[in-house]
Chains A and B, each alone.
Chain A
Amino acid sequence: MNPTFELDGQAISFAEGQTILQAATTAGVYIPHLCYHPEFKPHGSCKLCTVKVNGRQTAACTMRAALGMKVESNCEEINAERRALTQMLFVEGNHFCPSCEKSGHCQLQATAYHLGMMSPHYDHFFPNRAVDASHPEFLLDFNRCILCSLCVRASRDVDGKNVFALSGRGIKTHLIVNARSGRLADTDFAATDKAAAVCPVGVILPKRQGFAVPIGERPYDKVAIGAATTVRAEEEAS
């Protein structure tokens, strides 16, 4: 029998080496997250998966589960902080959901709904970020980047190409394309790359394919993020 820890009063069994987030996901319990992806090593940067372990805050995606841990996740105090983090992500970029192709399929948008975010709350930064449309098949809309680094990890660890990187520090951190010109067209990025399909928001999108899926049939129209079936599907995909 596997050892267990307690998550919001529920016993969660885990295998040796699993993180809290992995164990919870396996058990069908959703912990909000954006930079975590089951196929990649944890990054621990978005902090949305923050939980309290024995009264102390930590990222569930990086903290290994241990026998007898008492973990708090789905409580108003932590969800309020997650909501604030999500609001900050919205105002730091230019997220115009109504005309975004990723709407209904966007993890940021779905997480905001899940957390009951009713407004951005903070003043918008309205950063001036150019769109990179140089590649014949893919568009980079940096306005929507949340710095999850999934494209960086996918390109480096799976595709072996290092097309993307995060540059700058602190509030000036931004996604760059690894080419002398800075343009995607001048890299060996390909539509079949893992990095082309991993963006949780609407930064990396295939061209000329806008709004092909009708409203009501997009993934999060059918099943809200965090619903048990989504968690299992995500686990199965891994």
Chain B
Amino acid sequence: MTYQLETAQNPEKLRRVAIDPVSRVEGHGKVTLLLDEQNKVHQVRLHIVEFRGFEKFIQGRPYWEVPVMVQRLCGICPVSHHLAASKALDIIVGARKLTPTAEKLRRLMHYGQMLQSHALHFFHLCSPDLLFGFDSDVTQRNIVGVAQAHPETARRGVLLRKFGQEVIRVTAGKRVHGTGAVPGGVNKSLTVAERDELLKDIYQIVQWSREAVHLIQKVHTQDPGLYNSFGIFRSNFMSLVGHGGDLDFYNGTLRARDDNGALIFDKLDDQKYQQVIEEEVRPWSYMKFPFFKALGKEHGWYKVGPLARVQNCDQISTPFAEHERRDFVDYAGGSPMHAPLAYHWTRMIEMLHAAEVIKELLHDDDLLLDDRMVTGARQMEGVGVIEAPRGTLFHHYQVDENDMVTMANLIVSTTNNNQAMNEAIRHVARRYLHGREITEGLLNHIEVAIRAFDPCLSCATHALGQMPLTVELLDAAGQPVHALSRS
């Protein structure tokens, strides 16, 4: 399978420009461009250069260690891995339905994470591009610049994230890499003091989240020429959808739509994800390329994350976020919005929803109860799917009769967006770089497109096994003499 601009015909004659590392994203990745003498773009690739290996070294470990171990994939949204693994292992310990207290505490933890991760991404990583311009002075284009020029915006970003981290701390024991969820439930309830401490600030957090939606909405709608077209590509999209079609980050069934919004599949039990999704390995990246089996590699790739979720659900259960969703859908004009920069707008709608759900949960006394654990008939296999800040996250485990993990398969959010990110940067390269003298500001356009997806590159390269590898022997003229490949 070849995609436009993925592989140049005669790479040896081209000039290579690398953005290494891509800045203001989680993890380490790089972009390479191959240009000819007229600066025409022949090849654009987003490479993920980290190598992790979690799927391999989790094998042979006892299953109850897994939720605590796999969250080390990431320091930004470890809660996603912690909970996705816990959900998969709930199935294994026969806890298909948790106690209300356990489910609500996990949900609180997860929505706290959603809040902090989205705040981090929008305010710390992306607001410099959005507030100053993509090719503005590079010395100002960072969070320090934002703090100097827009101190209140920067302050809110910090405090929103801090609040989300506090929600995680009281539910998981630590702000990063806690132990709250265990197979079958959770290990602690909220105390009245912890709840009251969060309740003091939540109304302010909801208000700031509303204003954050309005900020990005204003930025987006003031420059539709840029924001509706930058890096645009059309694709399928997928997410979990909750009960009754609600936006739901913690639990639900899988729904996918095509680029026009027509359903591809719906109400698919997350335990059956392998019926619809397959992963392709390409020799030039550690990150796999997933696609819908029914549509094949060429047409089956898709995007996930806020832009997919907000347009995939039928409604949002909380009033302020639902109001903002409707505004967004109206702006999109009745068909799905595919512009990558619309990720920012939908991300802030999700942050508002997370804040509202946290507010609702903090008024629920179930959080204070001690009924935390469930067990049932032991199973050998389980799948946990969750909507992480960056998109749909799959954890799939098999456990033997001695309680040891024998198989682990993770499809992380950023991997789901792999082809989508590559398409976005190729579009940007064609539109902004093709035939022009390369400058730092122009290269930042590529990074802006990547950042829109909020990729987490450290998570995305978790696999270990038969590494795709190609070795080529070239003669002095650059002609291939011999090639060996393993895939």
The answer, yes or no, to whether A98 is at the interface (CB within 8 Å) is yes
Report A176 CB to chain B, min CB distance, Å.
19
> Among A11-19, A65-73, A81-89, A204-212, which stretch is in contact with chain B?
A204-212
The B210-261 residues at the A interface (CB cut-off 8 A) are none
Q: For B173, what are the chain A residues with a Cβ–Cβ distance below 8 Å?
A: 214-216
The answer, yes or no, to whether B65 is at the interface (CB within 8 Å) is yes
- Supposing A99-B69, A131-B404, A133-B403 touch, asked if A214 and B62 sit within 8 A by C-beta, the answer is no
Q: For A57, what are the chain B residues with a Cβ–Cβ distance below 8 Å?
A: none
Q: Looking at the complex, which one of A101, A134, A215 makes contact with B64 (CB distance below 8 Å)?
A: A101
The answer, yes or no, to whether A213 is at the interface (CB within 8 Å) is yes
Q: A209: nearest residue on chain B (CB-CB)?
A: B64
B179 to A131, Cβ gap below 8 A?
A: no
- Supposing A98-B177, A131-B61, A207-B62 touch, asked if A139 and B182 sit within 8 A by C-beta, the answer is no
Instruction: Mark each residue of chain B from 62 to 100: 1 if its CB lies under 8 Å from any CB of chain A, else 0.
Output: 101101110010000000000000000000010000000
A98 to B69, Cβ gap below 8 A?
A: yes
Interface size class of A (residues with CB under 8 A): 20 to 34
A98 to B68, Cβ gap below 8 A?
A: yes
A23 CA to B187 CA, complexed, in Å: 39
Instruction: Mark each residue of chain A from 190 to 229: 1 if its CB lies under 8 Å from any CB of chain B, else 0.
Output: 0000000000000000011111111111000000000000
Q: For A96, what are the chain B residues with a Cβ–Cβ distance below 8 Å?
A: 69
A177 CA to B179 CA, complexed, in Å: 31
The answer, yes or no, to whether B133 is at the interface (CB within 8 Å) is no
Q: Looking at the complex, which one of B65, B93, B174, B402 makes contact with A101 (CB distance below 8 Å)?
A: B65
Q: A215: nearest residue on chain B (CB-CB)?
A: B173
B72 to A139, Cβ gap below 8 A?
A: no
A99 CA to B61 CA, complexed, in Å: 10
A213 to B187, Cβ gap below 8 A?
A: yes
B65 to A215, Cβ gap below 8 A?
A: no
A211 to B187, Cβ gap below 8 A?
A: yes
A214 CA to B194 CA, complexed, in Å: 15
B182 to A212, Cβ gap below 8 A?
A: yes
- Supposing A207-B403, A210-B68 touch, asked if A215 and B61 sit within 8 A by C-beta, the answer is no
A131 to B187, Cβ gap below 8 A?
A: no
The answer, yes or no, to whether B296 is at the interface (CB within 8 Å) is no
Q: A100: nearest residue on chain B (CB-CB)?
A: B65
A112 CA to B291 CA, complexed, in Å: 48
B64 to A211, Cβ gap below 8 A?
A: yes
A98 CA to B65 CA, complexed, in Å: 10
B64 to A210, Cβ gap below 8 A?
A: yes
Q: B372: nearest residue on chain A (CB-CB)?
A: A212
In this complex, the member of B62, B64, B178, B179 whose beta carbon has the largest number of chain A beta carbons within 10 angstroms is B179
- Supposing A208-B403, A215-B179 touch, asked if A131 and B62 sit within 8 A by C-beta, the answer is yes
A73 CA to B402 CA, complexed, in Å: 45
Q: For B62, what are the chain A residues with a Cβ–Cβ distance below 8 Å?
A: 131, 133, 139, 207, 210
Q: A207: nearest residue on chain B (CB-CB)?
A: B403
Q: A133: nearest residue on chain B (CB-CB)?
A: B402
A131 CA to B182 CA, complexed, in Å: 21
A98 CA to B67 CA, complexed, in Å: 11
A133 to B65, Cβ gap below 8 A?
A: no
Q: For A217, what are the chain B residues with a Cβ–Cβ distance below 8 Å?
A: 188
Contacts A210-B64, A211-B67, A211-B187 known; list 10 others, CB within 8 Å. Answer: A99-B65, A99-B69, A99-B72, A207-B403, A208-B93, A210-B62, A211-B64, A214-B180, A215-B173, A215-B178
Which residues of chain B have a CB within 8 Å of any CB of chain A?
Answer: 60-62, 64-65, 67-69, 72, 93, 172-174, 177-180, 182-183, 187-188, 402-404
15 A-B residue pairs with Cβ-Cβ distance under 8 Å, sorted by A, are: A98-B72, A99-B72, A100-B65, A133-B62, A133-B402, A139-B62, A139-B403, A208-B64, A210-B65, A211-B64, A211-B67, A211-B179, A214-B187, A214-B188, A215-B174
For the complex of A and B, the 7 pairs showing the least CB-CB separation, nearest first, are A215-B173, A210-B64, A99-B69, A133-B402, A214-B188, A211-B179, A214-B187
